Amino acid sequence: MEEHPTYFVKSVEKAFDVLRAFAPDTPRLTVTQIAAKADMTRASARRFLLTLTDLGYLRADGPHFTLTARSLEVGSSFLANLSIPDIAERHLRSLAAELNETTSLCILDGTEVVYVACIASPRLLNVSISVGTRFPAWATSMGRVLLAALSDPELNAYFDSVQLQRFTERSIGSLDQLRSEVDLARAKGWSMVSQELEEGLRGVAVPVWCGSGVVAAVNVSLQTHRAPPDTIEQTVVPLLQEAARQIGLDYDGRTAGRRTTASA
C-alpha cells in the first residue's frame, strides 16, 4: 500500500477520484458505478456523491449523477492563466484548414500530456479528443517532443517512473526503444508516432519554443491512409514548425508585455 505524508487528507483524494470517474464516454454514473471506478464502498461513494451534489459540482438525475458547469471551476483558473491556448487557437485553426486534419496544443503534466487546445478537422463531424484529454506521454508524438525538452536528470527520473503498456501491436515495448525515440525527437526537432496509440492513426508533433524553453507541443492527427510516412517530413512538418514558431512568438510577446508592466 502506498504511504502518504502525515498531512495527506485521504478524503480529498477520494473526492477527486469521484470527480475523475466521469468521462466523455461515461457522463452519467450510478452510485454502484462510481464505487467501482473510485475503488470505494457503495456507502462511501454515496456520501461523496451527495456532498458534491450539495456543493453544486454534481447533479442527481434519478439514480444517475452528472457533472455540472460548476465543475469547470476546478480547472478554469489554470486555463485562464495559461494564455497560450488562446494564443494558439487561430494558428491551430489555420493549420487544421490547410492540412484538413485535426490539430492540437498539448503540455506535459507529470507523466501525461494534456490537451489544452484542439481544433477538429473541417471534414470530421466529431473527434475523440477534447480540451482536458490526457494520454501517456511516451505513447504520443507530442509527449516525445516534450520529453525531449526535459533536462537529463528530469528525463532520467521520468524513465525510472514510467510504466509501458501495449495499446496496439505497434506500441513501444521497452524503455530502450523509448529512449531511442526520445533521443531521435531531440535530434530531429519533431516526432512521428504511427499506430502506437490507436490503429489507423498517425501523430506528428513539434515543440513550441518560447525564449530558451519549450512550453508546449503542436500536433496534427493524420489517418494513415491519407498521409504516407515518407512524405510527412517534407509536407507536414514544415507547416507544423511554422505554426509552432508563430505561437511561440505571440506567446513570448504577451509574456514580455506582462514582464514590462510588472517592472514599470
C-alpha cell at 99: 492540412
256 — pLDDT class (breaks 50, 70, 90):
very low
Domains of the chain with bracketed CATH: 10-73 (1.10.10.10), 82-263 (3.30.450.40)
Mean pLDDT of 202-211: 92
- Residue 68: CB atoms within 10 Å: 15
Please state the pTM of the whole predicted model.
0.69
- The pLDDT tens digits of the residues spanning 6-34 come to 888 999 999 999 999 998 788 999 999 99
> CB neighbours of 194 closer than 8 A, spacing ≥ 6?
170, 202, 203, 224, 229
pLDDT number for residue 56? 95
Terminal-to-terminal C-alpha distance of the chain: 52
- pLDDT single digits (tens) 108-149: 998 899 999 999 876 654 456 778 889 999 999 999 999 999
In contact, 52 and 34? CB cutoff 8 Å: no
Measured distance CA(16)–CA(10) in Å, rounded: 10
Identify whether the C-beta of residue 45 lies closer than 8 Å to the C-beta of residue 38: yes
Best CA proximity match to 137, nearest among 163, 112, 161? 112
